[in-house]
Amino acid sequence: MRILMVGLALLVATNANPLFAKGGGRDKGKKPAAAAADPNAVVAKAHGGKVWIITGSAPSTEGEDLSKWLSNHKPAAEVTKKPTEERWPITILAVFKKRPLKGPITLQFVDKKEPGVLVGEDSSQTSGGPLVFQEPYDIDANIGFNKGHTYIVKVGQLIKKRFVTYATGEVTLK
């Protein structure tokens, strides 16, 4: 019985040590160290919930440089394709108000004149987490996109078989 009690005491002491080592046993008056500040937290406050469609070179995806770039560019865009091509190459830049969950980011395109009809949907290999999402994408005429139409772009995630929108924007195809 004595050996059992000693073993139990050692087990309790061993499991309690990591708790105190991680700060679980600290004084209640002390605050825990702040997490490293996200350089895009200010960007998310100012521009969160919007999608920019970029046809040229993409901006830096961090901090003050990104905030300046976003302030100087409209979220909505007109994209022109070459007459011999069937695609409109773009880069989608979305700024979220809050961090998305871990998992793939999904893009949805809906014709502005027919909001109930989903024209295109694509899940990215980029995992959620950061406040800024940036990825190249080709809008393809062969899958239902039409010249002269304006599309609402939604960036979000499929959570429990339901699409949760984090940011929206518009693109007009010329």
Rounded mean pLDDT of 1-10? 49
Which top CATH class is 47-173? Answer: mainly beta
Which strand (E) or helix (H) includes residue 86?
Answer: none
- 3-state class of 95 per DSSP? strand
Structure confidence at residue 124 (pLDDT): 84
Structure confidence at residue 57 (pLDDT): 83
Q: How confident is the model at residue 139 (pLDDT cuts 50, 70, 90)?
A: very high
pLDDT in tens, 40-59: 898 999 999 999 999 988 88
The answer to whether 50 and 75 have CB atoms below 8 angstroms apart is yes
Q: How confident is the model at residue 21 (pLDDT cuts 50, 70, 90)?
A: very low
Structure confidence at residue 28 (pLDDT): 52
State percent of the chain over pLDDT 70: 79
Q: How confident is the model at residue 19 (pLDDT cuts 50, 70, 90)?
A: very low
How many other C-beta atoms can be found within 10 angstroms of the C-beta atom of residue 132? Answer: 23
Please provide residue 3's backbone torsions phi and psi, each rounded to the nearest 5 degrees. -65, -40
How many other C-beta atoms can be found within 10 angstroms of the C-beta atom of residue 163? Answer: 13
| HSE-CB of 109 using CA atoms within 13 angstroms | 22
Gap between the Cα atoms of 160 and 166, Å rounded: 16
- 3-state class of 9 per DSSP? helix
Question: What is the reported pTM?
Answer: 0.75
Structure confidence at residue 29 (pLDDT): 52
The answer to whether 110 and 87 have CB atoms below 8 angstroms apart is no
